[in-house]
Chains A and B, each alone.
Chain A
Amino acid sequence: MSKSKGRKLVYVPDEIVEEAKNVSRGRGESLNLFVSEVLRMALIANRLGYSPEQAAEFLEIMQAQRNLGGAFVPADVLIYLNTKGCEGDVEQLEKKWYESGKWHGKYLNEKFEDPVHALKKFLEATRWDLSEVEVRQNDCSVKFRCISTLLNGKATDLLAKFIEGAMHSMGYLTAKCDTMKGMILLDFEK
């Protein structure tokens, strides 16, 4: 940190200071350095368009994705696998996406206080082929609306299966499933 920069006092509750001391000690850093780093990263997060809350949420989703065994695949290969590659095995393919969704949903259910919200965030963060993910949730029902200008018909159906799988492991049943190229409308009930 530049010595020429001016310094100001910032107030923090005692309990947070104690915790921050433990963390900085664990990292082998001075408390001042830790404080400075926290503030710097908060400013970067803000520049990236995240509030502290959103930044933490995004990080949790990314961490969950790594824990779940997230992997990148070339988009063209995925298109091939979704269509020609598995042609004639539609049922089996749908089953695989559904099971993958179920597994995912089970993990989110264990890890997150609001697994439906986590699923929405997961879709927003990782499915960049979706231009819109809308989730309306009340006590016993959830409505999903996903829009994409990039997904073909088959890929749309498979993603819908994935969402169904995830929601089923969170204890929801499908009330309505309406898919067409680039659009998924799914209603679930407890």
Chain B
Amino acid sequence: MERKRKVRRKSFAAREDYLNSMNEIAKENELSLYGFVNQVFALTLRANELGINLNTLVDSRELLKSARERGFTLGLERLWYEMAELAYGKSEKKSLKSWFDAGVWFAKQYVTAEIDEPFEVFKNDLKIFTWNVPELELDREEDAVSVRVMSPRFTDAYTFLFTSFLEGALEAFGYKVGGKEISRGIIRLDAVRNQS
């Protein structure tokens, strides 16, 4: 009679509470603990091959949830740029206003929320939502804010529109932009607290 080929196994010591919880999940899914743990390891290793780890799962899910709550839509950068070019070419003024208003709306969520350091939270979220922008710095010192953005992929129109978005956001925080230096993919803004 042909003998069944045995799978060689090794054992690890792992936290009991983790394994107990996994055992429960395995049961719910009609799997043995061994089968479930194998599945988890196989998928982790596959994810590792793709250069991602499971921590990213939590981060990505949080990111999407937060973006949805904050009124953002995820899509392809190139499409956004092309559409922005089209709209900006048709009406600069209306397009700039649309981005400015979006900036005000975005920032107002932080201004009006009962949170400590709303500007810092806004700054962190903005950095997260602009993951496609290689450099985005917002520095606040007393009554002044300086913004520096560098993104080689920005088109001319998108640079102006994104500037307008930032101006709207700064205005919502009570800052007025005084100095501006803009060229394709590069934005420098200096704003001071509005005294009025």
Q: Which residues of A contact B (CB under 8 A)?
A: 1, 5-14, 16-17, 19-20, 23, 31-32, 35-46, 48, 50-53, 55-56, 58-60, 62-63, 65-66, 68-78, 80-82, 84-89, 92-93, 96-97, 100, 103-104, 125-129
Q: Which of B7, B57, B58 contacts A13 (CB 8 A)?
A: B7
Identify which of residues 135-154 in chain B touch chain A, using a CB-to-CB cut-off of 8 Å: 153
Residues of B near A85 (CB, < 8 A) are 83, 86-87, 90-91, 94-95, 98
Which residues of chain B are within 8 angstroms of A68 by Cβ–Cβ distance?
Answer: 76
Task: Taking A72-B130, A73-B73, A86-B90 as given, write out 8 further A-B residue pairs in contact, using a Cβ cutoff of 8 Å, ordered by the A residue number.
Answer: A11-B11, A20-B41, A32-B14, A48-B61, A71-B80, A78-B73, A80-B94, A126-B74
Nearest neighbor of B105 in chain A, beta-carbon distance: A76
Instruction: Check if A96 sits within 8 Å of B80, measured CB to CB.
Output: no
Specify which chain B residues have a CB less than 8 angstroms from the CB of A59 in the assembled complex: 47, 50, 52, 54, 56-57, 60
For residue B74, give the distance in angstroms from its CB to the closest CB of chain A.
Answer: 4
| Cβ A97 vs Cβ B79 within 8 A | yes
20 A-B Cβ contacts within 8 A?
Answer: A7-B15, A8-B13, A14-B7, A14-B10, A17-B10, A35-B12, A43-B22, A55-B54, A55-B57, A62-B60, A65-B74, A69-B132, A70-B75, A72-B72, A75-B73, A77-B161, A92-B86, A100-B79, A127-B73, A128-B64
Most buried by A among B21, B50, B75: B75
Interface stretch (choices B32-40, B114-122, B171-179, B180-188): B32-40
Q: How would you classify the secondary structure of chain A's contact residues: helix, strand, loop or mixed?
A: helix
* Distance between B126 CB and nearest chain A CB, rounded to angstroms: 10
> What chain B residues lie within 8 Å of A82 (beta carbons)?
83
Interface flags, B88-106, vs A, CB<8A=1, else 0: 0011001100110111011
Q: Which of B44, B45, B86 contacts A93 (CB 8 A)?
A: B86
In angstroms, how far is the closest chain A Cβ from the Cβ of B139?
Answer: 22
Q: B46: which A residues are within 8 A, CB to CB?
A: 56
Q: B94 and A7: CB pair below 8 A?
A: no
Inside 8 A of A128's CB, which chain B residues have their CB? 64, 68, 73
Chain B interface residue count, CB cutoff 8 Å, equals: 79
Bound together, the chains give a CA A88 to CA B58 distance in angstroms of 42
Give A16's nearest chain B residue, CB to CB: B41
Known A-B contacts A7-B15, A72-B130; the reply to A81 vs B78 at CB < 8 A is no
**Quick one: which of B8, B14, B61 has the most chain A CB within 10 A?**
B14
Q: In the complex, A100→B82 CA distance in Å?
A: 10
Tell me the minimal C-beta distance from A111 to chain B in angstroms: 10
Given A46-B25, A100-B76, A52-B16 contact (CB < 8 Å): no
The 4 closest A-B pairs by CB, nearest first: A85-B87, A41-B54, A71-B77, A74-B102
Is there contact, CB below 8 Å, between A55 and B43?
yes
With contacts A72-B129, A85-B91 taken as known, whether A36 is within 8 angstroms of B14 at the C-beta atoms is: yes
Is A7 within 8 A of B86, CB to CB?
Answer: no
Q: Which of A6, A16, A50 contacts B57 (CB 8 A)?
A: A50
Out of B43, B86, B101, B129, name the residue touching A96 (CB < 8 Å): B86
